[in-house]
Amino acid sequence: MSFSLSNPKDMSLIDADYYHRLYKRHVQGALVRSGASIFMWMVALIALFFGVIQSFHFIGVSIAILFLILINPPTLWVLKRIINRSHIEWFSILINALEILGYTAVIYLLGGIEAAFLTPIYAALIIYIGVMAPRKLTFMVTSLCAICFNLMVVLEYIGVLPHFAIIERSPLPLPFLITQLFALNSLLYVVAFISAYTAKLIRQNKKKLRDQNIDLDRANKAKSEFLANMSHELRTPLNHIIGFTEMVVDKRFGELNASQEEYLNDVLNSSHHLLALINDILDLSKVEAGRLEPSLSEVNLKALLENSLLMVKEKTIKHNIALSLNVNGVPETVTADERLLKQIMYNLLSNAVKFTPNGGRICLTTKKVSANEHDATTLKLPDTTEKDANSGEFIEIAVTDTGIGLEPQNLKQIFGQFEQVENSASRKYQGTGLGLSLTKNLVGLHGGKIWATSEGKNCGATFSFTLPVDAQA
């Protein structure tokens, strides 16, 4: 099976990348041709075994099959050395003609017109060409099939070619023969039309999907740009609201009664929550728009993790949650963006504190893993954005809590934007649903992976992520 270029252009030479794809398709066609030939030979062998055909039928079919297989190496060798567009097209037609000649020989050796039931071999070739090649080549191949089959039948009828009948019977009357040929030729062209039309619809749909994906990508980038710009505009007045409200709550402008203080604290808490949401949207939109690039430097890992625990220590003391840290066996420093790494740790630790009940435990551990262990992480999220993988060692950092846990179906869902396990009607824990999505993207910017594990509801959870020891800028 072979085919030419989809749409010939004015230039006579083709670029290397397109030629590589074209040659790869020709190799695939050769493999399909060889596989189909071997299958036909096995069918002929079974027919010989059961006495359906004679030994001379089988020998002839074997020679035709051998021809179909042996044409592959030389044609691929020649094709690999042709770089002219028109030469490739004509050589592709030659390959198809040789293939059709081999199939016609098989049909002839098994009875000629009496073996018309084997013409689906032609149909299979036409369908393959119709899907993979342009409409013009599809009808050229169909015409070659019709010419070869008709010529074989005519030469056999007038006695130029001997008749290899499987079952001896008198020759078909000429009108019946012409009617049968007309019907077979018509069916071949119907198959060609249907396959060419189907291929046209497939190409149109592929182009439509490609254009839609481009439009969606542009819209997504425009959304990210808009959110990044709007977040800046929203943050400035919100900071003023927070600042002046804090001054009033601190009673710098006079005393407040209980109701005033309660209402202003509600305003302040809601403002802080809104500011956190805006900050998350801003960072996430920067990542999606490609405007957030990590500023890599040597970071003291132990000191950063200790400081990260200090950021949540006040809340853990308030809720009697025990904190522990284990950084044994890891390098003293890693190459990372210190600010982004602090944000990753804060997001994970604050989540652990939020979902851990009073009297619980949170454990922060680290260990060194090899590149193979890193690549074999089975729970890696499919849409994690990663830079080029490093071939060196990785640090795995894990935050384990004794909180509410996660069901297996939620282990990947929670890393999506605005995803929260609880629904809005029964939500007990406040949050934006952006923290883990942002964390996933920040880990991806460093070339790492992030995943979650849990034994189920009320069994706690572990959030783990990896970072290369020596990240590449």
Domain ranges of the chain: 16-171, 297-468
- For residue 337, CA distances in Å to 130, 351, 392 come to 54, 21, 18
Torsion region of 433: left, alpha or beta (phi above 0 gives left; psi -120 to 50 gives alpha): left
d(CA 41, CA 56): 14
Amino acid at 231: S
DSSP per residue, 284-336: HHHHHTT------EEEEHHHHHHHHHHHHHHHHHHTT-EEEEE-TTS-SEEEE
pLDDT grade, residue 389 (50/70/90)? very low
In the predicted model, is pLDDT for residue 386 greater than 50?
Answer: no
Lowest mean pLDDT of 214-228, 254-268, 279-293, name the range.
Answer: 279-293
In the predicted model, is pLDDT for residue 379 greater than 50?
Answer: no
Q: What pLDDT shows up at residue 362? A: 94
d(CA 68, CA 121): 13
| Chain mean pLDDT for the chain | 82
**What count of other Cβ atoms lies within 10 Å of the Cβ of residue 222?**
11
Q: What pLDDT shows up at residue 278? A: 76
CATH class for domain 297-468? alpha beta
Q: Which carries the bigger pLDDT value, residue 388 or residue 310?
A: 310
For 173-214, write each residue's pLDDT tens digit: 888 889 989 999 999 999 999 999 998 899 899 999 999 999
Specify the length of the chain in residues.
473
* Chain centre to alpha carbon of residue 200: 24
Task: Say which residue the tokens 């080029």 belong to.
Answer: 388
In the predicted model, is pLDDT for residue 282 greater than 80?
Answer: no
Q: Give the closest residue to 458 by CA, choosing from 419, 405, 382, 412.
A: 405
Which residues are registered as beta bridge partners of 323?
A: 362
Which residues are registered as beta bridge partners of 252?
A: none
Q: What pLDDT shows up at residue 190? A: 95
Phi/psi of residue 335, nearest 5 degrees = -95, 115
Lowest mean pLDDT of 75-84, 220-229, 259-268, 363-372, name the range.
Answer: 220-229
- For residues 453-458, average pLDDT: 88
For 416, counting Cβ atoms within 10 Å of its Cβ (0-12 exposed, 13-18 middle, 19+ buried), the class is middle
d(CA 416, CA 382): 11
Q: What pLDDT shows up at residue 191? A: 93
What does pTM read for this prediction?
Answer: 0.52
Q: What pLDDT shows up at residue 427? A: 46
For 341-360, write each residue's pLDDT tens digit: 988 998 899 889 988 999 99
